[in-house]
Amino acid sequence: MISNCKVAVTSRSFSLNPVLREELLERYPNTKFNDEGRSLSGKDLIEFLWGAEKAITALERIDEDVVAALPELKVIGKYGVGTDMIDKAALRKHGVRFGWTGGVNRRSVAELTIAMMISLLRHLPYARDEVLAGRWRQIWGHELGQQQVGILGCGHVGKEVARLLKAFGCEVIAHDLLDFPEFYAQHQIRPVSFDELVTESDILTVHVPLDASTRGMLGEEQLRRMKPGAMLINVARGGIVDERVLKQLLQDGHIGGAAFDVFEVEPPDDMELLSLPNFMVTPHIGGSSKEAILAMGRAAIDGLDHNEIP
């Protein structure tokens, strides 16, 4: 059904995607896209969304100030699965409905997680730098299948990572606030306490959302209790891991390697951390496969029509 409702799309990658544009315009011809590729926040975000009855947002922070300034806004469809940038209390206060689908990018994020594990274990970024510097020598690494991998958060992405790890023959342990006995039994996963996960993992991979209970979850105490030489992967959200302590432990070798796709401040500005030879960085691309972009975009479009007060 075609609607004359005014829609605004803040997401740059959605706006650049011809398939998503066409599918959205078929339903909502009166749509404004972020064609200039602007990073929108505060007053610029309010100005862009002004007059829209429905919006598709991504990593833009939708807080009380933004919602209160947009009296015509009635629905937000979420492009992506993280909701930490959405002030749900503000949406409830102003009667703005929220359309969101979890897990639509889980395969994309899970595959990046596996790629990071293998890259760290085989020292791939360092090996490339060595070749480019004119040095050609053997660099010893480890096989993924020989590692005990700990999954922190066994939701959509955590479960997908566990499924992929099964093909490598890894021992997998997991910790989550919820219990998934059937899934654990099916995939030979050993559920453990948070403390056991931290101290027993050869590779610890983070897949929890960012909220009050998880912010700083892997702080100094937890990071120092990791196995000497263990590796840490974070493709979830910045703010869960203490990046300052991580840098120190990478420098002294207590943590053997880390790979981060997300940071507390993006883009990150700690060049000392980013330049460490045992640290791998990617620019928040976990959900940036072409397949995931289509899935997230279609879920966001659907969220304009199927939504609720959060």
* Residues assigned a catalytic role: 237, 266, 284
Lookup: tokens for 264? 């507390």
CA distances from 82 to 1, 61, 167, 227, 253 (A): 29, 11, 28, 30, 32
Residue 232's nearest CA partner among 211, 210, 201, 209 is 201
Alpha carbon distance 209, 108 (integer Å): 17
Using the CB atoms, write b or e for 79-102: b if 16+ within 10 Å.
bbbbbbbbbeebbeeeebbbbbbe
Q: Which residues contact 248 (CB under 8 A, 6 or more apart)?
A: none
Q: What sign does the CA torsion over 33, 36, 41, 42 have?
A: negative
Identify whether the C-beta of residue 78 lies closer than 8 Å to the C-beta of residue 30.
Answer: no
